Structure 1
Amino acid sequence: MPAWLFALLAVFAIVTIVVCVVVPIQVTQHRSSSSKASADRTSDAAAAVSTTAAAPTSSSTAPAATAPAQSTASAASASSTATPTETASSTTSTTSTTTTSSATSSASTASALTSTDCESYLPCENNGVSVVRNNTCACVCVGDFAGTTCSTVANSACAIVALSDSQNATLGTAVVSAIAAGATLFPDIELKQSVIVRVFNASDVSCLSQNVLMTFLSKSKRRHRKRDRDDTTTKTSSAKATTTATVAVADQAATTSKTTSSTKKTSSTKTTTSKTTSTTSTPTPTFTITNNVLRFARVAVLDVLQTNHSVSDSSTLQKSLENMFLKDSIDPDTGTVTFSSGLVLNFKNYTIDGI
């Protein structure tokens, strides 16, 4: 073999050994050192995130926000020259930080009450509204309702009534009593409680004003009515006494005149007896106002209210009946009262016509 060919083969063998053995070893060592440096940087970033999460929120808000950003920047810088293993480690660190922040936010939200929560924890009755005050449930009551859950009445003039739609409402105590009495004493007259409540609410009539509509012949008016009757009786008695005295004087004068005339004509004296004539007048009969008459009057007022859907019409009727009771202007024989509107009330048969 020529010498030059032997030299060429030797050079080729050396190059092959360098390329196939030495270069891979150098590359492997370089990769190992790079992986170690990346692991050190990932460990430092994780330690910084843990320190931020453990620090108080009020005093470390700015540093906490900066540290993850710096770590992310370092990770991004490293990832540009690092291997896929380094990139995976950086992504895992970022995901861990995001999960920690999300859990903290959820815990903060869970501790705050909402009105929806309060509707379950403290349900309000009678159309009350659930609200949150200072992270505590409370009820805002409407109308005349009060109490923690709006289940009581604040106004003594009101009473709670149940409507047909499973809701409660307030109604004047006198109105409630009148409806109950009417159902027992006058069953032919149907009073619809839900309609009455609706008419009163539409006109915003308070419980006190509702009770006034049911008031007839209060104590003061009863005393006034009795005093008027006593005055009428006294005047009638005085008139009777005056009439009797006048008739007696007239009879006595006539007797004296006759006696004088007889004396002149004859000498004999005749004894004349004077007669006293008195006129007795029969008192005018009046309609007797009983408790049932007053109860019927209340039912009539409510019937007009629910039929005409008018508080004004029922108030006008109440005032008219009150005036009739005071002046005894109800027909004592028939007990019937006829109004210009065509309404006819019979206080003997307890009937209502003309509505």
Structure 2
Amino acid sequence: MKQYLSYFLCLFTSLVFSQEDRTNSYFDINYFKGNIARHNDDILHLIDGHPSGFIASWNKKTFGKKAWQERYGYPDYGVSFAYQDLKNDILGDTYSLYGHANFYFFKRNIILRIGQGLSYSTNPYDRDTNFRNIAYGSRVLSSTYLMLNYKKERLFNRIGLQAGLSLIHNSNANVKAPNTSINSITFNVGLTYNTDETDTDFIQSEEDKKFTQPIKFNAVFRSGINESDVIGSGQFPFYIFSFYADKRINHKSAFQLGTDVFYSNFLKEYIRYRFVAFPEDELEGNEDFKRVGVFAGHELFISKFSVVTQYGYYVYYPFDFEGRTYIRIGLKHYFNDKIFAAMTLKSHAAKAEAVEFGIGIRL
């Protein structure tokens, strides 16, 4: 890890001393150490030591040039690189790249960072050489991290300090089995470096706080690939058709009500597997793999992006798989007022089923 940290510090130094014009940005680097959460007893043999590593980030500050920036307390956005040594030869190490956003509270002394990206695992599951790694079934993983810090900028000229807690989640979202995932809960401490001598003043707008829209109707097509928890059962495409209405009640929020139709092809293979391997289930082997759900949801608008959360219930449920309720959470990006793309995670409680990629229209 020292080698990678040295590389970053060299890059950090060269970038710092090359700054001449105002950038309204800052760098930070955080060292972390902690524990792997015992969220599943099946991973007990993978919890040996205390994972450690670093997170290095570039952050762009906002000062209210756009209305949404003031609404959310002038957040930052940026990119992060993370290295994590999981202190277990079976798990190996992970290298991660994220896009992130920072939100401030309590006179900008408390910062909450939310990062989403991809991780690369150096030692995933392999049937012949690494069959004990049931956490990761693939080298490329979906990764999320949360960081809650107490932060003081410019304590020593442009240098500041921060410390707090981080949660790092790595999973392949059932793209390929196995997938019990790893959650690291850590303490972190770090330095910040502002690239400008002083900060720009915040802009106070006179935006009309009242904002509503009439009910809008949405249609979304989602797809991807996934696999059941049965290792080696194969990856299959899935198709989801979603139809819902939403009502935007202010600049930030809209509420949703709609329905999903699921064509989950991995369930075909899983039903056949259960029919053969578990006769006590009394299956016929030809149960319908399709499901239909109804859901209520919320959408949080942030510039051209939004955060979607939905809670659903299967009204057509011919085969029992992980329960009748489901959750969807993810991001949308609006290309214009009508067309959007979406990347969402569908799960049953804490058990992921699929990462969904979608395209939709809002009328």
Higher share in helix: 1
Higher relative contact order (CA 8 A, sep 6+): 2
**Which structure has the larger Rg?**
1
Higher strand share: 2
Same-fold status (TM-score > 0.5):
no
The TM-score normalised by the length of structure 1 is: 0.18
Q: TM-score, normalised by structure 2?
A: 0.18
